[in-house]
Amino acid sequence: MRPHVWIAGEPRLTRKHAEVRAPWEGKLLGLVGEADDALVEEAVARAHEAFKPASRLPAYVRHAFLLAVARGVAARRDDFVSAITHEAGKPVSFADAEARRAVVTFTLSAEESTRVDGELLRLDHAPLGAGALGACARVAAGPVLAITPFNFPLNLVAHKLGPAFALGAPVVLKPAPQTPLTAMLLAEVVRDAADEASSEHGLEPSLLRAMLSVVPCAVPLAERMVRDPRLAVLSFTGSAAVGWRLREIAGRKRVLLELGGNAALVVAPDGDATQALDRIVPAAFGYAGQVCIKVQRLFVPRTIEREVTDALTERVRALPVLDPADPKCVCGPLIDARSAARVRSWIDEAERMGARVLAGGAREGNRVTPTLVAGAGAGMKLHDEEVFGPVLTVHPYDTLVEAWRAVNASRYGLQAGVFTRDLGTVAAAFRELEVGAVIVNDAPTFRVDGMPYGGVKDSGYGREGVRYAIDEMTERRLLVLRGFL
């Protein structure tokens, strides 16, 4: 098919298009349409028009629709794995895991579509409320604008579409420019699921088809949608700088931001250092570190610093950068040469300021070898910012109080990992660490799709995880009944 976008479930040819190339070898993978002003306006208008009838669909219809989407993703898993591996440069085993997770996310969304309940309220706690009853319902706030990143082009999209579809809220999706082909494939699956559910329940297909538009577009057009009051919810995953700017211009929208981090892992004095090492390598260097909860800062007791550093150095030096299609690949290319150049420049800056590169750090094109750095500190970008690349910094500490303070000395707070067998240490970590989640005896990369997920400080605003995203996309509406009791 010629370059196109999707408007209310229908492919629409475009006048402009962009090339999509594979990060590994630069191969042309395909052409994707770019929406212009008119197509963006039509996508927003169709979502706005479809909202009321779609949000009034019975829960069993929304449930059937989402299950059909889940089945469609499962049936085309190989296609999704190929698309993710090639256009995102994600190792094939990681891409397969993402496709499997997306099936879970849509299935959980189907289940939650039947649980969007309210509550009955007693109002007779004051004389005025005697004889009155309150019924509080959760209702969809309105159509959703979803803006998604390149690194999880299927499952992070599913985390926005699934909860919205569970509420009957149409979505306008603006995918990352690096990975639009996965979104286009998902649009086909959603269209087919809409037709299947419509046929099953005797509906006109256009209503469920209108649940999704996919509009790759220029930044000014994306910002126009952010400002447009017809889209009542903005769900954004990406960089902190962009996310907070979008919140500033979003007006009265409900805004859900999942942003970056420089996640820490603390090995407590009683923690299993060997177990931690086994988790650190894939958690720090998997997918070239292009994961917002990847391990960036490792804190170890000073008494075992040399032992841990030597073991890590050996493991990091042995980890190659491979073709993402190779089943053995853990660390592949960065998404583009500009990202690799930025990572290398941050390593250079850290070395100039006194840090030491213990392993890796070589750059060729968009590939940076897994890098281990000692001596990084405040004022270095490798320490203060989100590297989003295959770099790990190691930091010794003398007391856990010192470790908690060092973890918190960041403008980010997404997730942190702690290896310990001591419940007192677990309690202290949970009490002291300023993060959205504390992961015990695993890396901060741990995430299952039903759990509340999100950060504090510059790492975000609100929570994802299907049920929690539904909460973010709903408003409470109260009915007060008098004279019926």
Catalytic residues: 258, 292
Which residue in the block uniquely carries the two structure tokens 């004095």?
Answer: 269
- Close Cβ partners of 171 (under 8 Å, ≥ 6 residues apart): 47, 143, 144, 145, 146, 160, 161, 164, 165, 211, 212, 213
* C-alpha dihedral (150, 470, 100, 66), degrees to nearest 10: -110
- CA dist list (Å): 118 to 378, 409, 476: 48, 40, 8
Rounded distance between C-alpha atoms, residue 361 and residue 151, angstroms: 22
Structure token digits, residue 441: 């005896």
Q: What does the DSSP assignment read for 60-96?
A: HHHHHHHHHHHHHHHHTHHHHHHHHHHHH---HHHHH
Largest distance between two CA atoms of the chain:
77
The torsion region of residue 41 among left (phi > 0), alpha (psi -120 to 50) and beta comes to: alpha
Query: How many angstroms separate the CA atoms of 459 and 93, rounded?
Result: 27
> Measured between alpha carbons, how far is 406 from 301 in angstroms, rounded to an integer?
13
* First vs last C-alpha separation in the chain: 62
DSSP-assigned letter for residue 286:
G
